[in-house]
Structure 1
């Protein structure tokens, strides 16, 4: 009798293990996430194959071994940017030289600009400015993707608000404006006159009190 009970126990245990392995196998390509309200308006399904960033499925980015772990948590909804150094570190990843991951970090900054309040707004301006300075052609290409001009408006407003906090003399508007133009021009290889004019306008917009939506 005891042997029969023992055999039944082993069969039950084996059956549970088999089911557990089956579940893991079936879900191997899924990602668990914590649903949060702060991502409302991001247009996410949290399916790594349905959600896309700059023409590539999210799977492309999260399967990259070099992706920052906090960036993944941002996508999953497990990390909301806030008034802390870790947010500054995450947003500054936008200037990485890794062409494969930069669009994903840019997406994170763009969404952070979308949800920013007064305190969080102090963290978006510097990385937005540094990205425009380092990759001017790429910056304008990204801005042009939004035909409404709303993205351009929100980005230069962020720069106007906090984009110069890393300068000791951040109130020296003329000096900083000149430095912005000079840096963007120096990083804009083979730029034509159209791009150079756009750089000048962008610099003017970043220092203007008038808010416009045209590019």
Structure 2
């Protein structure tokens, strides 16, 4: 009788362990769903409209709007200038061959110079230099300076020009050429213009390396 019980117990245990083994094998064979977070993120980014004219971070932000309207928004502080298409278009407009175009966008240009930072601040000097070299008398006539006070607009433009010159291969020589060009082209201007020329050149400090 005892032997029969032992055999029965062994049989039950064998069946139990066999069942556990088969269950483990099934769990092992069951495929595990893999979640690739990087892939999901890339898919999300690719689905976003990075070139949207309504996205403030896009290069084409507001590119579908009238440029004159955008310029007014910048002057009125409704939007901030950035290194995007509309801002560069406005900066290009101050050197336009059409004087009416230059007249219209000049206030927006001054606002951009004043508010620029980061990448925009690093390149705005090239636009300032081109405009001043082509239309120096016009530039100094347009700038308004209160007597006895620091001329903020003039200082802002001078700072942008200084940064641009310092990025060149020979800053000392380039500044000397700019000084000579401005003095020559404003030689017949009135005293007010000449005073602003002197202040402008005085704001620029190119140090020898």
TM-score range, shorter chain: 0.5 to 0.7
1:150 alignment counterpart:
152
Larger radius of gyration: 2
Q: TM-score, normalised by structure 2?
A: 0.52
Contact 1:70 1:79 in 2 (8 A): no
2:15 alignment counterpart:
none
Q: Which has the higher contact order (CA 8 A, sep 6+)?
A: 1
Change (3 A) 1:123 1:178: same
Partner residue of 2:185 out of 184, 187, 201: 187
2:133 alignment counterpart:
133
1:81 aligns with 2:78: no
CA distance in 2, matches of 1:100, 1:80: 24
Q: TM-score, normalised by structure 1?
A: 0.51
Change (3 A) 1:155 1:194: same
Contact 1:128 1:163 in 2 (8 A): no
Change (3 A) 1:197 1:179: farther
Q: How many pairs does the alignment contain?
A: 140
CA distance in 2, matches of 1:120, 1:198: 26
CA distance in 2, matches of 1:183, 1:201: 16
Change (3 A) 1:208 1:194: farther
Structure 1, unaligned runs of 5 or more: 1-33, 37-67, 210-215
Higher helix share: 2
1:111 aligns with 2:111: yes
Change (3 A) 1:140 1:76: closer
1:203 aligns with 2:201: yes
Structure 2, unaligned runs of 5 or more: 1-53, 57-64
Change (3 A) 1:173 1:200: farther
Contact 1:121 1:162 in 2 (8 A): no
Q: Report the Cα offset of residue 127 of structure 1.
A: 1.7
